Structure 1
Amino acid sequence: MQGKGGLWDTIRTVAVAGLVALGARSVVAQPFHVPSGSMEPTLEVGDFLLASKFPYGYSRYSFPLDAFPIAGRVLGHAPERGDIVVFRLPRDPAQTYVKRLVGLPGDVVQMRGGVLYVNGQPAALERVEDFVETAADGGRRTIPQFVEHLPGGPAHRVLHAAGRDGLDDTPPLRVPDGHYFMLGDNRSNSLDSRVAASAGGVGFVPAENLVGRADLRHFSVDPSALDEPTRWPAALRLDRIGLIR
């Protein structure tokens, strides 16, 4: 039987551990679960990420319950084109999204026939093998896959099934100061900055809404097993665990 002193020691240990975990989540990294296929093939449903906070510094959205009303951002560097960013949705900050940053403040971003243009320069597309998507019910479908060479940024893979109205062709969109333009890598299945916040989309994302840079995929499980933890050992996708490229 545990004595009174031992009980208080246990409570103190648990409290300290909780504070350390809360501090790490606030200052170092925040966990994030990928809920949709909007960032396929880079991120898939069933991936669990860690978003590093220190690269971009801190804002009021960096802390649980938005506890510190910081104006703007402090102690960080500006994100780079091509970063995968976890951010708070501008029209509803209670929601957290993850997308690829393709437009910096002052950039002009446009989609023409499904091709991304940044400041008038097209992102060259190289056709590669089809991507096989696994749905939560275990069903599979193939989607055309490309390597996109982002102007002024890294090459990465994107999915594009042509013909989605309003997303393959947009007017030139100038990114306001202090804001960023986000796209999903699954271009035919992503609600992102191509759609204005006033129309129910993401719109331009203010700098203060950035939570962190998605750097590490620390766990991944087949989406068909997401709601059945007893199946996780057999459904683990070990090949997906590691740094996010």
Structure 2
Amino acid sequence: MNFDFALVLVLATFITGVAWLADTLLFAGSRKATLSAAEQVAGGRLPEEAADTVTRMSWWADFSKSMFPVLAVVLVVRSFLVEPFQIPSGSMLPTLQIGDFILVSKYHYGLRLPVLGTKIVPVNDPDRGDVVVFKYPKDPSVNYIKRVVGLPGDIIRYQDKIVYVNGQPQMQELLAKLPPRAPETLLYNETLGEVTHEIYNKVQAPNRVGEWSVPAGHYFVMGDNRDNSNDSRYWGFVPDEMLVGKAFAVWMHWPTFFSLPDVTAMRAIR
């Protein structure tokens, strides 16, 4: 079972907020009254240490007061501004490496309610060539990252390892054969709309041919590692409501737990 951090964060923020509010409304007044009564008996102000003891919050109220502001800030930033993700697979090579830590703009495609994903403020629609994070339609508890190839209303064809959009082939320029003497992988520059990016094609991989008509409110996505990507060619389209955000930067590369994080890998994603 996948860990739903967003749900846990919302619940933790709600519980600590309610606990802090309950203490403020129900118990803070009685603590002040107890302090006032103690000072009357003592005939004056109590020493600071004694006053702190009398007015001390219960452990759960003190914990909630300390944690609620922190959780609330994290919730707002993560839900509406920027969320970090780690790249676990090679489906977006060479653009994204396994172990890259990326930043995703949560507001670029509109503000959505945390957990529910309901769009409350529309902003932009995805453009062809955008690298997007989305909830996998077959299992919404899993996040995927791919590149937008087809927009609503497009007809996408994939043949001879070339993308056709509404009948127009998307330009590819061969950059390198890897390795040079006995090539197994071909590195290309591909242009999708106004975005030029690199892709991999495997020399020995079979040629998958297909044509898809993108329905309204959906997107056709593909990995840049074209012969090693589980994408719309195999399971269909991404509904708009499953979009998480636009990936815009790599901020660290950390391939394994026992390796050293590499912050020099910082770069924009295109």
Structure 1: how far apart are the matches of 2:241 and 2:232? 16
Q: Which stretch shifts more, 39-48 or 73-82?
A: 73-82
CA contact (8 A) 2:158 2:164 kept: yes
> Structure 2: which 5+ residue stretches go unaligned?
1-51
Closer, same or farther: CA 157–74 of 1 in aligned 2, 3 Å = same
Q: 2:167 aligns with which of 120, 128, 131?
A: 120
**Counterpart for residue 178 of structure 1:** 217
Bigger relative CO (Cα 8 Å, ≥ 6 apart): 1
* Partner of residue 242, structure 2: 209
Q: Partner letter of residue 200 of structure 2?
A: L
Question: What SS class does the counterpart of residue 111 from structure 2 fall into?
Answer: coil
Q: Deviations over 1:80-128 (max 9, x none)?
A: 0000000001111011000000100011111111111111111121111
Percent identical pairs in the alignment equals 38
| Contact 2:251-2:263 within 8 A present in 1 as well | no
Give matches, 1:129-140, under 5 Å: 129-130=176-177
Count of aligned residue pairs for this structure pair: 213
Number of the residue aligned with 2:94: 41
Aligned to 2:132: 85
Cα displacement (A) at 1:73: 6.2
Cα shift at 1:216: 1.7
Match in the other structure for 1:147: 189
Does residue 52 (structure 1) correspond to residue 100 (structure 2)? The answer is no
Gaps (5+ residues) in structure 1? 133-140, 196-200
Q: Which amino acid aligns with 2:262?
A: R
Is the Cα contact below 8 Å between 2:201 and 2:227 reproduced in 1? yes
Shift of 1:10: 6.7
Q: Higher helix share goes to which structure? A: 2
Once the two structures are TM-superposed, the CA of residue 130 in structure 1 deviates from its matched residue by: 4.7
Which of residues 56, 63, 70 in structure 1 aligns to 2:114?
Answer: 63
In structure 1, distance between residues paired with 2:140 and 2:111: 16
- RMSD of equivalent CA atoms: 2.5
Contact 1:114 / 1:162 at 8 angstroms: preserved in 2? no
CA distance in 2, matches of 1:145, 1:42: 11
Deviation string 1:31-69 (CA, Å, 9 cap, x unpaired) is 11101000011111110111101110134xx514x3x6x
Does the aligned pair in 1 maintain the 2:252–2:266 contact within 8 Å? yes
Do residues 227 (structure 1) and 257 (structure 2) align? yes
One of 160, 173, 177 as aligned partner of 2:201: 160
Q: Distance in 2 between matches of 1:178 and 1:58?
A: 17
CA contact (8 A) 1:107 1:119 kept: yes
Distance 1:191 1:179 in 2: 17
Q: Retained in 2: the 8 A contact 1:73–1:208?
A: no
Q: Which residue of 1 aligns with 2:20?
A: none
Task: Tell me the residue number matched to 1:190.
Answer: 229
TM-score by length of 1: 0.78
Which of 94, 106, 115 is the aligned partner of 2:153? 106
- Whichever residue aligns with residue 251 of structure 2, its letter is H
User: Structure 2: how far apart are the matches of 1:101 and 1:219?
Assistant: 24
3-state DSSP class of the match of 1:176?
Answer: coil
Which deviations, in whole Å up to 9, do the C-alpha atoms of 1:197-237 show, x marking residues without a partner? xxxx3x1000000000001212112x2xx232xx32xxx33
Q: Measure, in 1, the Cα distance between the counterparts of 2:262 and 2:175.
A: 23
Q: Distance in 2 between matches of 1:121 and 1:176?
A: 19
Higher alpha-carbon deviation: 168-177 or 109-118:
168-177
